[in-house]
Amino acid sequence: MIDRAAIAAARRQLATQPDFLRTTPLMRLSGQSLGVECGEVWLKLEHLQVGGSFKARGMLYRLLANPVPDSGVIIASGGNAGIAVAAAARALGVRCEVFVPEVSPEAKRARLRALGAEVVVTGAAYSEALEACVARQQATGALQAHAYDQPEVVAGAGTLALEIEEQGGRPPDSVLVSVGGGGLIGGVAAWFASRAHVVALEPERAPTLHAARAAGHPVDVDVGGVAADSLGARRIGALCWEISQRHVHDALLLPDEAIRAAQLWLWKELKLAVEPAAALGLAALQTGAYKPQPQETVALILCGANFDPSSLS
C-alpha cells in the first residue's frame, strides 16, 4: 500500500544517498504574472533533478530497497526512467541495460549511453520495448525496474509532493500532474490524499487514465503526439489506478497545440527549458481546461527536461 507512511519511509531511505538527489526549487509566482486568475502558482522545478526528471527519486529507491545481482538492473523506458536508472546505477556501481522504443528521441539515447548504460532500441512503442525487456530479464536475472508501476517507484515519486509541502509551508489547494503510466500522480495523490485537489492531465493522443475512468478499469489506448516519448504508456499502471480511485479528482485532456504553446511560453517568458510533458499544467491553466478559484494556490510540476533544446527556437 502506498500511503504517507510509505512515502516518508522512502524519503528516509533516499537520505542515505545525500550526494545523489537534489532538493529542487519551488518557484512561487502570482497567478496574474502567468495570466491566470488565482492567488499563487507554485512551479516545482523538478526538471533540474538528477537525470533531468522526477524519475530519479523512484529509481534510486528501487535500487536501494532491493539486492542488485551481478547482471545489474534492467528497464524499458521512453527515456526518462531509463536515464534515472542509469544515473542511479552509475552512482551505486552496478550494470544497467535500457530498452527504449523507436519513438524515443536520440537526445535521450545519447544521454543513456553517456551514463554508461547499454541501450537496446526495439519496438514502435513503449509496450513493445517492455516485452523485449521482460524476456531479457528472464534470461539474465537482472533486477527489473518498471518505469511507473512498482511500489518503490511510486513511493519515491511521492517524495516530490512531500518536498512541495515542506517548501510551501503547507499543501497547495490544487496540484496539476502530467500522467503517462501514472507513477508520478500515484505518488503525489498518495501523499496529499484529501488535503489537496489532485488533477490528472494527459495529452488527447495519450489518454490512459481518462480512458480507464471512462471504462471503469484500465484499458489499452493508442498513443502518439508531441509528448509520446515520455507520456507514451498504453495502459495506466495498476498502482496508479488504485490510488486514483480514491485521491485523483479530475482527469483532463489537452491538445498537442496547447502543450507546445505552454512549453514555448515557459522558455520565452521564464527561461525554463522543459520537455512537452512538463508543460501540461501550464497548458491546462492557459486554455481554461482547469479553472482555479480566485484565491487558489495551484502547484504545477515541471517534471522533466530531457529533450532537444533546439526545438525551442
Spatial CA neighbour of 101 closest among 72, 86, 81, 73: 81
Rounded to an integer, what distance in angstroms lies between the CA atom of residue 166 and that of residue 91?
A: 27
**What pTM does this model have?**
0.95
For residue 311, give the DSSP letter: G
Q: Are residues 68 and 209 in the same domain?
A: no
Structural domain ending residue among the three candidates 80, 112, 145: 145
Rounded to an integer, what distance in angstroms lies between the CA atom of residue 204 and that of residue 210?
A: 9
Mind listing the pLDDT tens digit of every residue in the chain (313 residues)?
A: 899 999 999 999 999 999 999 999 999 999 999 999 999 999 999 999 999 999 999 999 999 999 999 999 999 987 789 999 999 999 999 999 999 988 888 888 999 999 999 999 999 888 899 999 999 999 999 999 999 999 999 999 999 999 999 999 999 999 999 999 999 999 999 999 999 999 999 999 999 999 999 999 999 999 899 998 788 788 999 999 999 999 999 999 999 999 999 999 999 999 999 999 999 999 999 999 999 999 999 999 999 998 888 889 8
Rounded to an integer, what distance in angstroms lies between the CA atom of residue 166 and that of residue 163?
A: 5
Bridge partners, 177 (sequence order) = 200
Q: Are residues 256 and 240 in the same domain?
A: yes
Spatial CA neighbour of 218 closest among 197, 203, 240, 200: 240
Rounded to an integer, what distance in angstroms lies between the CA atom of residue 240 and that of residue 111?
A: 28
Q: Are residues 139 and 68 in the same domain?
A: yes
All three cell numbers of 75, joined, read 528497464
Rounded to an integer, what distance in angstroms lies between the CA atom of residue 80 and that of residue 52?
A: 7
56: amino acid identity, one letter: A
Q: Are residues 307 and 171 in the same domain?
A: yes
Residue 272: Cβ within 10 Å count: 20
Total domains present in the chain = 2
Q: Are residues 298 and 308 in the same domain?
A: yes
Structural domain ending residue among the three candidates 82, 110, 145: 145
For residue 124, give the DSSP letter: S
Spatial CA neighbour of 307 closest among 269, 267, 270: 267
Phi, psi of 73 (to 5 degrees): -120, 145
Q: What pLDDT score was predicted for residue 125?
A: 81
Residue 18: Cβ within 10 Å count: 7
Q: What pLDDT score was predicted for residue 127?
A: 82
User: How many angstroms separate the first and last alpha carbons of the chain?
Assistant: 44
Within its chain, how far is the Cα of 194 from the centroid? Answer: 21
> Cα angle vertex 22, ends 16, 27, to 5°?
140
Q: Are residues 81 and 204 in the same domain?
A: no
Spatial CA neighbour of 272 closest among 1, 79, 41: 41
Q: Are residues 22 and 84 in the same domain?
A: no
Q: What pLDDT score was predicted for residue 308?
A: 83
Rounded to an integer, what distance in angstroms lies between the CA atom of residue 97 and that of residue 196?
A: 38
Q: Are residues 18 and 160 in the same domain?
A: yes
Contact 157, 186 (CB under 8 A): yes
Structural domain ending residue among the three candidates 145, 168, 195: 145
Q: Are residues 301 and 176 in the same domain?
A: yes
* Structural domain range at position 73: 55-145
Residues in CB range of 235: below 8 A, 6 or more apart: 127, 181, 208, 212, 218, 219, 220, 221
Q: What pLDDT score was predicted for residue 85?
A: 97
Q: Are residues 158 and 267 in the same domain?
A: yes
Spatial CA neighbour of 125 closest among 16, 224, 197: 224
Q: What pLDDT score was predicted for residue 231?
A: 86
Q: Are residues 114 and 257 in the same domain?
A: no
> Cα angle vertex 272, ends 30, 256, to 5°?
95
